[in-house]
């Protein structure tokens, strides 16, 4: 069985700021589950898009009851994220999937950040995530139920973190601008 979680949000910031925040937000002080995040590849493609591939180490949050399978008894999982930032279209596309334990669990996420239809200075965010557990019987069902709740809460948590980081970034920019203006 595959569970699917969808999230949608409108950021009251331009897509450029939301995209820059997304591409630099991990690790941060607000999410202790992201242990590390390393850029593996970054390149400018022939169509003008900037492509970024990152690998993140994410803390294993499965309760011990659900770690009956030996390969699930790890401290962290690795996730790969690919991003395509198209500055001309003002569109960020993100796809991610798990690298660890993929023989038992398949996790996938796809997100799109675009200018809001009614206000181009805002950002419309859509995300769909799926989790499929392979061949674990009733334990697999329990993992899927846990994953659905965790992914739903995680999507909202990620939105909140992005909002906080953008607010901090705006405060730093504003304070630097004012300080240079006042002391010029």
Host H or E run for residue 142: helix 137-182
Report percent pLDDT > 90 for the chain: 60
Instruction: Please indicate whether residue 88 or residue 153 has the higher confidence score (pLDDT).
Output: 88
Q: What is the pLDDT of residues 111-148, one digit of tens each?
A: 999 999 999 999 999 999 998 888 778 877 887 887 88
For 2-182, CATH number out of 3.40.640.10, 3.30.530.20, 3.40.50.970, 3.40.710.10 equals: 3.30.530.20
Q: Rounded to an integer, what distance in angstroms lies between the CA atom of residue 146 and that of residue 62? A: 8
Least reliable range by pLDDT among 54-68, 75-89, 117-131? 54-68
Q: pLDDT class for 182, splitting at 50, 70, 90?
A: low
Cα angle 74-78-82, degrees, rounded to a multiple of 5 = 170
**pTM of the predicted protein model:** 0.87
Mind listing the pLDDT tens digit for each residue in 3-12?
899 999 999 9
């Amino acid at each position: 069985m595959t569970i699917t979680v969808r999230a949608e949000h409108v950021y009251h910031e331009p897509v450029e700021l939301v995209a820059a925040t997304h591409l630099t937000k991990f690790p941060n002080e607000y999410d202790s589950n992201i242990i590390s995040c390393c850029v593996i590849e970054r390149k400018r493609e022939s169509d003008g898009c900037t492509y970024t591939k990152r690998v993140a180490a994410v803390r294993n949050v499965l309760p011990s009851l659900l770690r009956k399978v030996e390969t699930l008894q790890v401290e962290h999982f690795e996730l790969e994220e690919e991003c395509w930032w198209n500055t001309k279209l003002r569109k960020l596309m993100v796809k991610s999937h798990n690298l660890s334990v993929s023989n038992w669990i398949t996790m996938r996420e796809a997100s799109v950040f675009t200018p809001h239809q009614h206000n181009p200075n805002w950002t419309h965010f859509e995300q769909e995530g799926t989790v499929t557990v392979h061949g674990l019987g009733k334990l697999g069902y329990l993992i899927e139920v846990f994953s659905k709740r965790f992914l739903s809460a995680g999507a909202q948590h990620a939105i909140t973190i992005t909002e906080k980081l953008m607010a901090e970034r705006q405060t730093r920019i504003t304070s630097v601008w004012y300080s240079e203006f006042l002391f010029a």
